[in-house]
Amino acid sequence: MIFIYSKISEPSANTQKIISVNTKNQINIFIVDDNKVFTLALKADIEMAFKNMFIKIYTFETGESCIERFRRVMPELVILDFYLNSKIADAVDGIRVLDWIKKENNKTDVIMLTSNDHIDIALESLKHGASDYVVKTETQFKKINYSLLNLFKTREAKTEARRYKRLLFVLFFFVLIFMAGIKVVQMFAPHGAP
């Protein structure tokens, strides 16, 4: 485990954030949005903001293509737009893709993207298991990066908690063996021996 520094793009503060990542684990992120300019810009922005992390980003224009690739990659994170039907009228919407992702792998975090005139969709997506939602505004990329940072920290905290739990279990096991050893020695030791 190493600690690395990752700069979150924030023009005003330009603060350095400390993130701990496991070098063995690459983080796979899916971006699902039917606007290619948006996905490309977001991909570049995330790669720059988290340039010291082992991140691989896949982009998809439809929910269907995301679903098709999901099982093979099992991404840790999906950034999903609600509206995915600008090019294909009967394409599945974000909530349906979200439901499918959660059914397939409940551990995958999903950040839902919505427009400001559809805040009800944002709330609905949380009910369906999304980890966060970001309203598409001028500061959308900054908000997405903060959301990602929070999710990375949460994942890291969970991994650490699992590590300590295992360590505690091993420690408890050795104490148990040690105590059993003492008991055995006491049982077989000749009574009254000097």
Partner 1 sequence: MKTDETESGTENVCSLSYLSEIMGGKKNLIKEIMDVFLKQIPEELQCINDSVAKADYPIVKSLAHTMKSSVSIMGISILGPILQEMVDLAKEAENIEKIKGLNLKLNQICMRAISEIETAKHSYV
Residues that bind partner 1 (CB under 8 A): 9, 11, 33-38, 40-41, 44-45, 48, 83, 85-87, 89, 115, 117, 136, 138, 141
Rounded to whole angstroms, the Cα distance separating 175 from 172 reads: 5
Q: How far is the CB of 55 from partner 1 (least distance, A)?
A: 16
Q: CB-wise, 38 or 54, nearer to partner 1?
A: 38
Amino acid sitting at position 61: E
Q: CB-wise, 30 or 141, nearer to partner 1?
A: 141
Rounded to whole angstroms, the Cα distance separating 37 from 52 reads: 24
Strand partners, 58: 30
Q: CB-wise, 93 or 156, nearer to partner 1?
A: 93
Q: CB-wise, 34 or 132, nearer to partner 1?
A: 34
Q: How far is the CB of 15 from partner 1 (least distance, A)?
A: 16
Query: What is the bridge-based pairing of β-strands 16-21 and 2-7?
Result: antiparallel
Q: Which residues contact 87 (CB under 8 A, 6 or more apart)?
A: 34, 61, 62
Q: How far is the CB of 152 from partner 1 (least distance, A)?
A: 20
Q: How far is the CB of 115 from partner 1 (least distance, A)?
A: 6
Q: How far is the CB of 145 from partner 1 (least distance, A)?
A: 10
Q: Which long-range contacts (CB under 8 A, 24 or more apart) does 118-124 make?
A: 118/82, 121/82, 121/94, 121/95, 124/95
Q: CB-wise, 83 or 159, nearer to partner 1?
A: 83
